[in-house]
Chains A and B, each alone.
Chain A
């Protein structure tokens, strides 16, 4: 996980004019048990990668390995797509400040440290794509980022989107329940919180109407408002709301607001989702579940259940898992899938909940989440079954480049910890900010 930003930038610069994947080097990984997620497991499989893209995946013998390809033997290993984490706080970034409870203009883009130890820790855990969010101490704490965990030095190089100034590069973080409550200007009650959110969305609807009425006549346009511009993206369905919500009634409140304003939403955490699974299913809204080892720690997590993921999946809710790193550590993301299986989630659903289901929530499923021809060559090499405690992440590859190798002592340090590698990573930030997650 060396920081090769200048090298990568150079490679990008060189490869763009050439433009064709045909010239990119081809690598084949053969002999592993491959879990493509998009289909059944392939024993003795072959994964062929050209440049940054998957060229082929299948059983040995049924897949042509181009002449000149560099072949890596992975016999005895397991290969699956790089993990996709739909809710994380890696990168040591922050979002909104305490000046007001609604700050849709704030971007986590402007605070993320691409060289943070937490990012390398996530690579060590097999995570290759991630939704990095501001905290939950606000009704609206800012714009999130969908990142690809490449080995780079700047946040711009981590983005999924092409242009951070013109593209929608992530979602919008919102929260209800106890976390955003506080002294004025923060809401004191749940109903007040909902009213404040509705008021702001009503304003956004009006703003959008003015924009539409003005059409191309710039003199008629409303004064630019950064938050309103963001909320228009939300109203137009171009930016997804990631709504931190635990208690059953808070979850239903999110569904009510999403329906009123027609925004696209992912329910985040959903500790009591098991109580309202049918309501969530009826709303057609996906849920991203946190797996915790015990209840409590806050009032609205007292009724959390290990079975939440299984209950939601059974009800037919599109369901994923997340780390909420540092609430759970990115290195233990596969474990969350294992514990969900313990509590009744079917194995294949658990593997999807760590990959493609999250990719769908982030609208990046055309590029990541499964091992399929044409998708990004993001994959992990495991020592054994992904849902076994004995299994280690041996390698993490992003777009055809190895970003973590447990055999490399420098990388191993992030998988294991200690000796100063995490120092400064979470220190003061999480001591003070834990309530915000």
Chain B
């Protein structure tokens, strides 16, 4: 039973390309692009892209393709907001890189500069079917830094990178005050005032840049933080604002209206209390983990948050979120499973960790569904993906079979 050595080798093995042409048969194939297919086949070409998806009768598996079979097949799962790779499993100061607490406003911090692809939590997520994570700087600062999208494979950040700068992570509420005490922001209102001031500065910076035009001599001195915020103001990078309680959620909407950036609401434990406002603002929600501990900001969350958001027509995806204690990460497969016991159909619950998540993080052209031309990211289950006693028995990423044992 001394498996420590063996399990620590797994991430290294995962980096080895095992095959390029793969055919996957599933008794049920959830493509997330139309109804599930009975006795379906997914073909993945030499480039690791999906070349065909359909009923077994309509697709011939070419010779030379490695064939895998499973009861149930889904797209690789997409975690719409995580801190894996930055918030290390050990939970010791030296491996906690998701939150820099020297200053509450540091949008310039890049996720790629902090991501540890070999942290044990990365292959842990992979082993449970999560192939794409939107990860990076975590909640806790007004502007904690940038996020990125990465596949859960490879030995270093470059191996799995999908998008090196995705959003800018921001947080409103008492958690920020706790992080920075005794410095400002000591209150929620002060936090919003500081955010507004920073966005105003960014607008002025952008105006100077525009006025300078091509004249390099007239440009303002480079400012990494303001450059990042200009990208937010221009709509090139969404602001991912963690806001759990109603006052924070409304403050986030107010900031969005004032500065016109693209907003993705994160956490949103009390979103069900302000559904009309969220709907009117057209804001998608990266919802707290279903089983998030009900304490602090999430004390007023409900197991039916996803159901209520969906019913209101608000796009919703699930996140593994940040955990300050055990377990150090949640797993969106498990969190989505809990939704089927709380008002969502299995297909709807699956969408929160596949195609909806992919859309919200802007990667729906590559991941989140099984469609021709998309990345060959596939999960093979020995039963209903959401049942406790089912297993993930194989995981394919970019056409490579990176895991082939049941967990």
Contacts A301-B326, A425-B294, A430-B293 given; indicate if A389 touches B91 (C-beta within 8 A).
no
Contacts A338-B388, A430-B295 given; indicate if A389 touches B300 (C-beta within 8 A).
no
Closest to B88 in A: A296
Secondary structure type dominating chain A contacts: loop
Contacts from A to B (Cβ < 8 Å):
274-275, 277, 292-299, 301-304, 306, 311, 326-329, 332, 335, 338-339, 341-343, 387-392, 415-420, 422-427, 429-431, 434-435, 437
Cβ-defined contact, A297 with B89, below 8 A = yes
Cβ-defined contact, A419 with B300, below 8 A = yes
- Specify which chain A residues have a CB less than 8 angstroms from the CB of B272 in the assembled complex: 418
- Specify which chain B residues have a CB less than 8 angstroms from the CB of A427 in the assembled complex: 295-296, 299
- Specify which chain B residues have a CB less than 8 angstroms from the CB of A299 in the assembled complex: 90-92
Cβ-defined contact, B300 with A297, below 8 A = no
Closest to A413 in B: B302
Cβ-defined contact, A418 with B304, below 8 A = yes
Cβ-defined contact, B302 with A417, below 8 A = yes
- Specify which chain B residues have a CB less than 8 angstroms from the CB of A297 in the assembled complex: 89, 91, 323-328
- Specify which chain A residues have a CB less than 8 angstroms from the CB of B1 in the assembled complex: 274-275, 277, 311
Cβ-defined contact, A295 with B120, below 8 A = yes
Cβ-defined contact, A339 with B388, below 8 A = yes
User: In the assembly, what is the distance between CA of A274 and CA of B295, in Å?
Assistant: 31
Cβ-defined contact, A293 with B334, below 8 A = yes
Q: List 6 A-B contacts (CB under 8 A).
A: A296-B328, A298-B91, A298-B326, A326-B294, A335-B388, A427-B299
- Name 4 extra pairs, CB < 8 A, besides A301-B327, A341-B389: A292-B326, A296-B90, A390-B341, A416-B303
- Nearest Cβ on chain B to A420's Cβ, whole angstroms: 6
- Nearest Cβ on chain A to B247's Cβ, whole angstroms: 15
- Specify which chain B residues have a CB less than 8 angstroms from the CB of A329 in the assembled complex: 291, 293-294
Cβ-defined contact, A341 with B294, below 8 A = no
User: In the assembly, what is the distance between CA of A122 and CA of B195, in Å?
Assistant: 41
Contacts A293-B334, A294-B124, A295-B120 given; indicate if A417 touches B326 (C-beta within 8 A).
no
Cβ-defined contact, A434 with B389, below 8 A = no
User: In the assembly, what is the distance between CA of A148 and CA of B116, in Å?
Assistant: 47
User: In the assembly, what is the distance between CA of A304 and CA of B326, in Å?
Assistant: 10
Q: Is B330 an interface residue (CB 8 A)?
A: yes
Cβ-defined contact, B327 with A292, below 8 A = yes
Closest to B304 in A: A416
Cβ-defined contact, A416 with B389, below 8 A = no
- Specify which chain A residues have a CB less than 8 angstroms from the CB of B91 in the assembled complex: 296-299
Cβ-defined contact, B299 with A392, below 8 A = no
- Nearest Cβ on chain B to A102's Cβ, whole angstroms: 24
Q: Which A-B residue pairs are the 6 nearest by beta carbons?
A: A338-B388, A296-B89, A418-B302, A297-B326, A296-B328, A297-B328
Q: Is B149 an interface residue (CB 8 A)?
A: no
User: In the assembly, what is the distance between CA of A434 and CA of B1, in Å?
Assistant: 30
Q: Which of B104-143 contact A (CB under 8 A)?
A: 120-121, 124-125
Cβ-defined contact, B386 with A418, below 8 A = no
User: In the assembly, what is the distance between CA of A304 and CA of B341, in Å?
Assistant: 27
Q: Is B340 an interface residue (CB 8 A)?
A: yes
Cβ-defined contact, B388 with A388, below 8 A = yes
- Specify which chain B residues have a CB less than 8 angstroms from the CB of A422 in the assembled complex: 294, 299-300
Q: Is B264 an interface residue (CB 8 A)?
A: no
Query: B240-272 interface mask toward A, CB cutoff 8 Å, 1 = contact, 0 = none?
Result: 000000000000000000000000000000001
Q: Is B398 an interface residue (CB 8 A)?
A: no
- Specify which chain B residues have a CB less than 8 angstroms from the CB of A296 in the assembled complex: 88-91, 120-121, 326-329
Cβ-defined contact, A390 with B340, below 8 A = yes
Contacts A302-B90, A430-B295 given; indicate if A387 touches B389 (C-beta within 8 A).
yes
- Specify which chain B residues have a CB less than 8 angstroms from the CB of A275 in the assembled complex: 1-2
Cβ-defined contact, B337 with A295, below 8 A = no
- Nearest Cβ on chain A to B230's Cβ, whole angstroms: 36
Q: Is B342 an interface residue (CB 8 A)?
A: yes
Cβ-defined contact, B293 with A425, below 8 A = no
Q: Which of B295-340 contact A (CB under 8 A)?
A: 295-296, 299-305, 323-331, 334, 337-338, 340
